């Protein structure tokens, strides 16, 4: 039986949005993690330099989020195309560049593009999808991570780290073109300022938004240390071949369905409880490989990390959109800005710690503690509000 035109359009938007997230997030942001061990092995930069590169990317992400929140977008199609092209070009350009300064610039531009694509595509797609479909949409990030985990070892066989960047750039080009065509974006109109958005909320909702921004900033600060150094840390734990790449594949396998799973749990438990549980599990996942270093612990940590980090993002975005549905892009933008601020600080501090003692223990345990603090801030700050939403509600 032929699907109705509206249903076909929804599926097309869902697939196009997921493809855009694969390009800008799964590859553009996270490909650096599985390629990092190879670049470190060739002494292209130090562990501290890796931290600077990660922080440069997240500074770009922060500024991109702020820019897209403050600036009125008159033509969403053109801005989305520019963001996708920038993400593709900066992924490819990592192979062509041979200096730390050049890589810092490319990672900054990649981060800026990632934020633009993430916020813009989220705003476009969330207008059309149900809560369950939103979980599938954000699963595109996990699918992109799995794709990088599978691709990097295969691409590296034909050369080295530069072949991996080139191959992922080519994959991004194909997926980016498909995403842009599938979304068929229309021009956007005016939007109220963030102050107008906050003023329009009831006082209870304003308090919850502030708590969400703080908690999401702590999540960004803590989780990104693992997101940057997981593969490199795995290499120090065991001599098993391809452990870094395999552990990153585990992250992707766990992440791909996680957004849907956490969305279902939130419909039963409420967003506050579900977010708290997800962040507690993530803190455990970050700490386990450090406290009991072994190949098994690395896989357990990778699974818990993958199973939570995009689910947490989905729930934060859904919670904010529920509080202020009239202009979800404003709320998503400011949440992303706080998240980006935490992301920028995390790898920078971790890089300094790594430069000081040469190990990952302090950096990763500190990251676990920060995520734990963010988890505890939710029930303490939000109070008795459950954050529960009907399953069929678009959030």
Band of pLDDT at residue 197, cut at 50, 70 and 90: low
Q: Is 245 or 196 the better-scoring residue by pLDDT?
A: 245
Task: Look at residues 11, 17, 38 and name the one whose alpha carbon lies nearest to residue 148.
Answer: 38
pLDDT at 390: 39
Measured distance between the N- and C-terminal CA atoms of the chain, rounded to whole angstroms: 29
Residue 45 is classified by DSSP as S
Helix (H, G, I), strand (E, B) or coil at 344: helix
Band of pLDDT at residue 373, cut at 50, 70 and 90: very high
User: In sequence order, what DSSP letters do the residues of 193-209 get, joined into one string?
Assistant: -HHHHHHTS-HHHHHHH
Report the number of distinct structural domains present in the chain: 1
Decide if 294 is inside a domain.
Answer: yes
Band of pLDDT at residue 187, cut at 50, 70 and 90: very low
Decide if 390 is inside a domain.
Answer: no
Decide if 392 is inside a domain.
Answer: no
Decide if 389 is inside a domain.
Answer: no
**Cα distance between residue 23 and residue 211, in whole Å:** 31
Band of pLDDT at residue 394, cut at 50, 70 and 90: very low
Model confidence pLDDT, tens digit, residues 336-369: 889 888 888 887 787 777 777 667 888 889 999 9
Model confidence pLDDT, tens digit, residues 244-274: 778 888 988 999 899 889 989 998 999 899 9
Decide if 345 is inside a domain.
Answer: yes
Q: Is the pLDDT of residue 90 over 60?
A: yes
- Identify the domain containing residue 75 by its residue range: 5-382
- State which of 29-33, 225-229, 239-243, 323-327 shows the largest mean pLDDT: 29-33
Q: Is the pLDDT of residue 237 over 50?
A: yes
Q: Is the pLDDT of residue 65 over 80?
A: yes
**Cα distance between residue 390 and residue 324, in whole Å:** 16
pTM of the model: 0.80
CATH, residue 300: 1.20.1250.20
Decide if 220 is inside a domain.
Answer: yes
Helix (H, G, I), strand (E, B) or coil at 42: coil
Decide if 356 is inside a domain.
Answer: yes
Rg of the chain over all Cα atoms, to the nearest angstrom: 20
Decide if 96 is inside a domain.
Answer: yes
Q: What separation in angstroms does the CA of 242 have from each of 45, 152, 233, 238, 384?
A: 21, 10, 13, 10, 46
């Amino acid at each position: 039986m032929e699907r109705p035109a509206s249903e076909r359009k929804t599926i097309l938007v869902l697939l196009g949005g997921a493809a855009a997230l694969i390009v800008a997030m799964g590859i553009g942001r996270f490909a650096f993690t599985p390629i990092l061990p190879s670049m470190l092995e060739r002494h292209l930069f130090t562990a501290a330099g890796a931290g600077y590169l990660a922080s440069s990317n997240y500074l770009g992400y922060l500024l991109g989020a702020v820019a897209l929140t403050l600036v009125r977008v008159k033509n969403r199609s053109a801005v989305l195309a520019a963001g996708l092209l920038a993400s593709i070009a900066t992924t490819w350009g990592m192979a062509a560049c041979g200096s730390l300064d050049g890589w810092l610039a490319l990672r900054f531009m990649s981060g800026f593009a990632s934020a633009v694509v993430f916020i813009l595509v989220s705003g476009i797609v969330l207008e059309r999808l149900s809560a369950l479909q939103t979980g599938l949409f954000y699963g595109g990030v996990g699918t992109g991570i799995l794709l990088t985990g599978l691709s990097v070892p295969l691409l590296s066989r034909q050369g080295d780290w530069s072949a991996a960047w080139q191959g992922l750039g080519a994959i991004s080009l194909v997926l980016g073109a498909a995403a842009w065509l599938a979304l068929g974006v229309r021009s956007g109109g005016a939007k109220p300022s963030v102050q107008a958005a906050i003023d329009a909320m009831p006082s209870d909702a304003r308090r919850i938004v502030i708590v969400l921004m703080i908690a999401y900033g702590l999540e960004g600060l803590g989780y990104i240390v693992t997101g940057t150094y997981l593969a490199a840390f795995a290499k120090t734990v065991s001599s098993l071949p391809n452990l870094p790449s395999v552990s990153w594949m585990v992250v992707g396998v766990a992440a791909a369905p996680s957004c849907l799973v956490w969305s279902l749990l939130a419909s039963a438990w409420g967003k506050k409880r579900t977010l708290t549980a997800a962040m507690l599990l993530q803190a455990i996942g970050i700490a386990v490989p450090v406290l009991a270093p072994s190949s098994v612990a690395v896989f357990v940590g990778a699974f818990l990390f993958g199973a939570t980090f995009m689910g947490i993002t989905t729930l934060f975005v859904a919670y904010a959109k529920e509080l202020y549905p009239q202009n979800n892009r404003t709320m998503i933008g400011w949440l992303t800005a706080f998240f980006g601020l935490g992301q920028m600080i995390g790898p920078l501090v971790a890089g300094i710690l790594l430069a000081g003692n040469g190990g990952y223990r302090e950096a990763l345990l500190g990251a676990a503690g920060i995520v734990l603090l963010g988890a505890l801030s939710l029930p303490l700050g939000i109070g008795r509000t459950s954050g529960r939403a009907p399953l069929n509600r678009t959030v």
